[in-house]
Amino acid sequence: MKKYVHNFSAGPCILPKEVMQKAAEAVIEYNNSGLSIIEMSHRSKDFVAVMDKSFALVRELLNVPDNYDISFLQGGASLQFTMLPQNLLPVGGKVGYLNTGVWASKAVKEAEFYGETIQVASSKDKNFSYVPKDYSIPSDLSYLHLTSNNTIYGTQLKSFPETSVPLVCDMSSDLMSKVIDVSKFDLIYAGAQKNMGPAGVTLVISKKGIFGKSGRKIPTMLDYTTHIDNESMFNTPPCFSIYTCMLTMEWLKNLGGIAAMEAINEKKGKLLYDEIDSNPLFLGTAAKEDRSLMNVTFVMKDPSLEPEFSQMAKERNLSGIEGHRSVGGYRASIYNAMPIESVQALVDAMRDMAKKHA
């Protein structure tokens, strides 16, 4: 048997071992049906039960109010970048975006196809190493778009603006990692492949009554109401991805829910950031007040030592810690399912590297 691999990949995410086991079993046969979860009809009693439970778990774990709809869609967060302005930006209207990274920039680009799009603030001037603060929000925006966590640059919004403008948020990389107040937002969306499950499904939580006001014709598949009215089954949904998300949410519930998960994530983050700040060889790249608890970015003060540390990481089965090409250095993604033992293994490697070069 191969030695345990510590999976720090930025996505697709690490998943709990018990979830992987149950998902693997269901691929062979699900619920004594004689059928695999990936071959049974999405209209079957068994799979409809999976959908119903998935909806219920989202509502329970996130405390989603009754006046919000829940949808499981396809196309990733990237498709949401264009669905949002199509559905929520009225003809002749204006929307605002807080630009905190690559994915926020991509969302801005898509919105510009549909109407006036302004950046209320941006951290591009310092390679997105911080989250802008004290910016003004125009009162005539149809919505303000935020990105709660920035996987590439390792920054995270610690709070959300108080405003009368409708808020929309891409929470792809930190949804279900910490407690949030869903009622503050008109719409939340998140690709599942960071904390919830495998790639292929996107969760959307939307306030009832916000659609149908754009004044534009929207293609059927890009109209949110199509999927809400059909309970996410207008076409064949990504069945296996949704099933695995259900298993992951069950795991999270059994762990004690999102508040319990948040406490664990804070402990993991503190362990790694404390080492970065105290170790003479390493330096964090994100502003301390904006550091992400999901994606920890850091570099070596002496870049010539990086090949040696990368080799050490490889030998110790620390997988996926290479930084994004736009930042360099290292990135340790410590999503919900990442055990603190793996974080400790990375910290031990950093300490051993420092001892070697003391």
| 136-193 per-position pLDDT tens digit | 999 999 999 999 999 999 999 999 999 999 999 999 999 999 999 999 999 999 999 9
Catalytic entry in 22, 103, 174, 186: 103
pLDDT of residue 267 exceeding 60, the answer is: yes
Measuring CA to CA, which residue among 74, 127, 33, 48 is closest to residue 241? 74
pLDDT digits (tens, 9 = 90+) for 30-77: 999 999 999 999 999 999 999 999 999 999 999 999 999 999 999 999
Mean pLDDT, the chain, integer: 96
Q: Is residue 22 pLDDT above 80, yes or no? A: yes
Write phi, then psi, for 127 (nearest 5 degrees): 55, 40
Q: Report H helices in the chain.
A: 17-28, 45-61, 76-88, 102-111, 224-229, 239-255, 258-278, 306-315, 340-356
All domains in the chain, ordered by first residue: 17-255 (3.40.640.10), 257-356 (3.90.1150.10)
Over 60: is that where the pLDDT of 1 sits?
no
Catalytic residue among 22, 178, 194, 268: 194
pLDDT of residue 3: 65
Q: How much is the average pLDDT of 274-297?
A: 98
Question: Which residues does 356 contact at the CB level (< 8 Å), separation at least 6?
Answer: none
Q: Is 272 helix (H, G, I), strand (E, B) or coil?
A: helix
- The fraction of the chain above a pLDDT of 90, given in percent, is 97
**Each residue's pLDDT tens digit, 295-330:** 999 999 999 999 999 999 999 999 999 998 888 899
3-class secondary-structure state, position 146: strand
69 is catalytic: no
- Catalytic site residue from 170, 174, 186, 223: 170
Task: Render the burial of 347-358: b for 16+ CB within 10 Å, e for the rest.
Answer: bebbeebeeeee
Region 87-109: what's the mean pLDDT?
97
Q: Is 46 a catalytic residue?
A: no
> Catalytic residue at 181?
no
pLDDT of residue 239: 97
pLDDT for 358 equals: 77
